[in-house]
Amino acid sequence: MSPRMIRCGLLLAGLTLLGACTSDMDELQQYIAQVKARKSNKIDPIPQIKQYEAFTYVAGDRREPFTPSLPESARNGAGIHPDLSRNREPLEEFPLDALKMVGLIDFNKVLYAMIKAPDGVIHRVSVGNYMGQNFGKITSISEREVLLDEIVPDGFGGFKEQPASLAAEQK
């Protein structure tokens, strides 16, 4: 078969398919006539918009409503706050829930927890080290878990200390 005959055959098939699409328009025209013959429903008018009335707030002896009410410790800068001047430790780059306690080592009467990071590296930590993204300082290590004290925002511009733990991985 020549390429010219193939082209003619494809053209003929395309015209046949195109002709089949336009042959029965009667059903569509009947549906359009039915829709046009329907009685239209009355549309409700647009509701009237109430006139804006300005309100003037007079504080008097009350606090300013858009100024947050801070606790005394946050107002004077006292209280708990993270030490931003210290060097961050490797496990502080990961969230606490991404870390896994995979083992425990007792060396010279000091307990070390073996912590596996999401990147697959196993780190050795002891009491006083930091881990997690909330400035978590390790306070205790046992066979079951690592206990930490985290420093988190209190929602009023200050910080609060909250306990956290990392349980040993179950086998």
Name the CATH architecture for the domain at 72-167. Answer: Roll (2.30)
Structure tokens at 127: 């009491």
* 22, pLDDT greater than 80: no
Q: What are 89-128's pLDDT values in tens digits?
A: 999 999 999 999 999 998 888 899 999 999 999 999 999 9
Q: What are 30-69's pLDDT values in tens digits?
A: 888 888 888 878 888 888 888 888 888 787 888 777 776 6
Per-residue pLDDT at 162: 93
Rounded Cα gap, residues 52 and 116, in angstroms = 61
* 5, pLDDT greater than 70: yes
127: part of which helix (H) or strand (E)? none
130: pLDDT confidence band, cut at 50, 70 and 90?
very high
| Domain boundaries defined on the chain | 72-167
Rounded Cα gap, residues 162 and 96, in angstroms = 13
Q: Compute the mean pLDDT over every residue in the chain, rounded to the nearest whole number.
A: 84
